[in-house]
Structure 1
Amino acid sequence: MLDKEEINFERSVIVGIVTQEQDEDKLKEYLDELEFLTYTAGGQVLKRFTQKMDKPNPKTFMGTGKIEEIHTYIIENNIDTVIFDDELTPAQQKNITRVLDCKVLDRTNLILDIFAQRAQTSYARTQVELAQFQYLLPRLSGMWTHLERQRGGIGMRGPGETEIETDRRIVRDRISLLRDKLKIIDKQMASQRGNRGAMVRVALVGYTNVGKSTLMNAIGKSEVFVENKLFATLDTTVRKIVIGNLPFLLTDTVGFIRKLPTQLIESFKSTLDEVREADLLLHVVDISHHEFENHIDSVNQILKDIKSANKPTIMVFNKIDAYIPDQIEEDDLITERTSKHYSIEEWKKTWMAKVGENNTIFISATNKENFDEFREKIYSAVRQIHITRFPYNDFLYPDFKDIQEEEKEEGEN
């Protein structure tokens, strides 16, 4: 799936199961994403193992025969890490580790590890450390002797590096300390949000790696870190933006993902508060990704979980420059035409039409394609919120077309 060098990558295999709730196509999507997560964390996936099961084995997640097959492959191919797509129970992780005699991670552990890599500020590192300790606490039994054998690498950053954290009481005390520390910082950040005055707040939300930071840079002419990896940025960035003569605050938030660990939702409370307190959401979607509809559903579910689903929202379908529909040959009479073959114009006539023209926009943040229309849509939405809040100031902010005429005249002069 990914073209990458073998040097400096942990040799890994990934594991998933087909169940009644998760068919083969859905599992492939999840494993594609898990492979990208592994690559982001510093691993190279050499093989995928799958199995059809009614439900996971309570002791070893997969059947004993499949576990032995994985064990044989690990020995023959010098594998460093085995990563399961679903969260393992403490008992499952302990049993699997004993059989495979190898580093065993699950999807939650992997995501937490990526967050540990990406955290730049003291605040973000504190949030991640809290989430890691909450994940590790029920898994302490038998884990630390394993860590003594397998030092460093994916899943070993953060609290996994400290040998002294072998005692449950010490870990609980550390969790309590981190929570107290975050409460203090949360109060400070809440105060900062309160000090921003009555300016309209706009928040960028969306699945990870959809181009939110690129869009932030394009709108605000700022330099937010951008990389083609999952969770490239964790720290919330707030910029004052002016379109025409209308100022507002634009916030770039951490990307969402399917099966987002509950520990992260709790520890990243202040980051999510930026979304909760926003007046307008820009839901950024990577339309070039073949699973973008599922990504939208995942983001909407998280917005619902944090009670932000009913906020005014503009759907920003990004990366139209990279969108390539599947093609069907003229003489192919077997292949059924599906949404994977739609052009962007055809997509606009589907459920997107029900969202409404005023609530959807198709752009390329990288090439700034359709950016004038994008700026107009934001301006109109922010202006409406501002006028509702300050009805006597509507004369200060003319229609966007008038602003464009003024800018055009200034350019000619």
Structure 2
Amino acid sequence: MKEFVISEVKAETAVLVGLITQEQNEAKTKEYLDELEFLADTAGAVTVKRFTQRVGGPSAVTYVGKGKLEEIKNFIKLKEDEEEPIGMVIFDDELSAKQLRNIENELGIKILDRTSLILDIFAMRAQTANAKTQVELAQYRYMLPRLQRLWTHLERQGGGSGSGGGKGSVGLRGPGETQLEMDRRIILQRMSLLKQRLVEIDKQKITQRKNRGRLIRVALVGYTNVGKSTIMNLLAKSEVFAENKLFATLDTTVRKVVVENLPFLLADTVGFIRKLPTDLVDSFKSTLDEVREADLLLHIVDISHPDFEEQIQVVNQTLTDLDSSEKPMMIVFNKIDNYHWLEKEPDDLTPPTKENTSLNELKKTWMAREADNCLFISAKQRENIEEFRSTLYKKVRELHVQKYPYNDFLYDIEQ
């Protein structure tokens, strides 16, 4: 009897590239590359080396200088004969078509930038027709200005969907039209179709939201991988997919939650991230309508992350872009069980930093700033969850009385 041996598929190896500039110091570049490595890991790639260069700004031709590009090229050649040669080089900023073309010509292997990597992850994570449509539209928006580099026969992808693709598209070719022009036209047709689909999906979602009744809407917002889905599962007693990967959740999930006999709707939304591609923000506006229509935002923060304060700023800026920054909000610091700090010596007079500030000191600082709109929990270890439920109940009840002052439901609760 013949035995079948299942060989393990090896992950692709990657090299990361970032810049140190006046606006982005070495420490900040390291943090950004840490996140880029996490993105690469989420996409299934293993990072083997990082390259950084201290410059005034990115080169318009090759992003990094010629010397640094030669250094990267030599490293790739050095690894060619090894068991795991370098499969791709990932840059921590969005690259122009010119930069992509020049870098590929020089290095001769697959080149990704931060935007295309995030788009790849979104494409992997998309489950529903809504998310898939939004991701595809964002991919085409990214692809369009880079067509000269890609130059591919896209009509094969667009066939059968009413987009003008397939064999029938050849008959539409005008006199003297180049392959590049035809591909551009096919993409524009496809984008038009996808936009129409999103309009139809939006109409369906508006109808769904209207049918939800007179309930307060609460939306979980925050940086990616801060534990929103875990909190959703805890409050709603549901099974929303939660994983220690970036963008584990793409589709907005809405559940009815009851705390102390008071029902409300809880929505888990897609996580935000620094340098989030504009095309993705535009494409996912319909998904983020749950944020716009929410009565209360629960801003979940991973307090164990060394750069949580910047993550808060990124989320706040995104909320401003969505015209949702003035909504009632609670900050919920999650993962207190993972918070680590180095205790200062009694005679240490150096200013407090993130590394030597205790959790109690942080609590005092943030609670003084946010008053009663601030909580510290561990969703995983279920620490302070009862306090969280109680505070949430008071907030929702207060909003319910304001929005539906004559609702008989609350009268029943009082009885």
| TM range, smaller chain | 0.7 to 0.9
d(CA) in 1 for partners of 2:152 and 2:89? 18
Matches within 5 A, 1:185-204: 185-204=201-220
Q: Quote how far apart the aligned CAs of 1:396 are.
A: 3.3
Quote how far apart the aligned CAs of 1:39 are: 0.3
* Cα-Cα RMSD: 2.3
Deviation at 1:333, TM superposition (A): 6.2
1:397 and 1:28 map into 2 onto residues whose CA distance is 53
The residue correspondences of 1:43-58 to structure 2 (distance < 5 A) are: 43-58=45-60
Indicate the SS of the match to 2:192: helix
Q: Following the alignment from structure 2 to structure 1, what is the Cα–Cα distance between the partners of residues 287 and 220?
A: 12
1:349 is paired with a residue whose SS is helix
Residue type of the partner of 1:25?
A
2:56 partner amino acid: D
Between the two proteins, the alignment pairs up a number of residues equal to: 378
Alignment deviations for residues 150-204 of structure 1 (CA, whole Å, 9 cap, x no partner):
xxxxxxxxxxxx9x99611111111111111111111111111111122100000
d(CA) in 2 for partners of 1:118, 1:176: 23
Task: Report the counterpart of residue 76 of structure 1 in structure 2.
Answer: 78
- Equivalent residues in 2 for 1:54-203 (5 A)? 54-77=56-79, 78-144=85-151, 167-203=183-219
The one-letter code of the counterpart of 1:133 is Y
Structure 1 window deviating more from structure 2 (385-394 vs 303-312): it is: 385-394
Which amino acid is 1:86 matched to? D
Within a 5 Å distance, the mapping from 1:8-407 to structure 2 comes to 8-77=10-79, 78-144=85-151, 167-328=183-344, 330=345, 337-356=352-371, 358-393=372-407, 394-398=410-414
Distance 1:209 1:144 in 2: 36
How much does 1:351 deviate?
Answer: 4.3
- CA separation in 1, counterparts of 2:87 and 2:346? 47
Q: Mark the CA change 1:51 to 1:205 in structure 2 (over 3 Å): closer, same or farther.
A: same
> What secondary structure is seen at the aligned counterpart in 2 of 1:134?
helix
Q: Please tell me whether the aligned partners of residues 12 and 45 of structure 1 are also in contact (alpha carbons under 8 angstroms).
A: yes
Q: Distance in 2 between matches of 1:339 and 1:108?
A: 29
Q: Residues of 2 paired with 1:323 and 1:85: CA distance?
A: 27
What is the deviation of 1:57?
0.7
- The structural deviation recorded for 1:342 is 1.3
**Take 2:47 and 2:350, find their aligned partners in 1: how far apart are those partners?**
31
Q: Deviations over 1:302-330 (max 9, x none)?
A: 000000001000101001111111345x5
Q: What TM-score do you get using the length of structure 1 for normalisation?
A: 0.87
TM-score calculated relative to the size of structure 2: 0.87
Partner Cα distance (1:305, 1:379) in 2: 29
Instruction: Point out 4+ residue stretches in structure 1 off by more than 6 angstroms.
Output: 331-335
Quick check: 2:140–2:191 contact (8 Å CA) kept in 1? yes
Gaps of 5+ in 2: 1-7, 80-84, 155-165, 170-178
